[in-house]
Amino acid sequence: MNDAFTNFNCRLRDVGGRVTAIIDDNYGIGPPSELFAANTQFAIELATVGLEAQPSKAECYIDEAYRNADWHTARGDIPEGILKNADGTPAQMIMARHLGVQQLATYPRYAWVCGCIS
């Protein structure tokens, strides 16, 4: 698991992104195409040590200004996640299942993806 996580982090670090994990949840940020490619490779590497990424628990987000055909192609089947303020406006955050939220305003051109491992 540690090698897979380290490789995931290095792939994102090389393009200005990063990844972190809290227990079995991981959070990556980076340019969309690189982020989703690194996330896919992470799932492959997890499988080699008997672990499984849980795509049904994954979510992703990018500022609406950067959602285009390339974004939707890169994210594939990972659903977009967003929280709303009490008035219904976007909160510029992604839901991190069971753990609260992560602020996104600092990196509007970057995508966030969160996932769960079992």
Among 113, 101, 99, 116, smallest CA distance to 18 is for 113
- Residue 98: its pLDDT value, please? 34
With beta carbons less than 8 A apart as the criterion, state whether 35 and 28 touch: yes
Enclosing domain of residue 10: 2-116
Q: What does the pLDDT average to over 22-49?
A: 88
pLDDT at 45 over 90: yes
pLDDT tens digit string along 46-92? 999 998 888 778 888 887 888 888 888 988 888 887 656 677 776 65
- Residue 97: its pLDDT value, please? 40
Q: What does the pLDDT average to over 31-43?
A: 90
- Residue 27: its pLDDT value, please? 81
Q: What is the DSSP code (8-state) at residue 26?
A: E
The three-class DSSP label of residue 16 is coil
Q: Provide the number of structural domains found in the chain.
A: 1
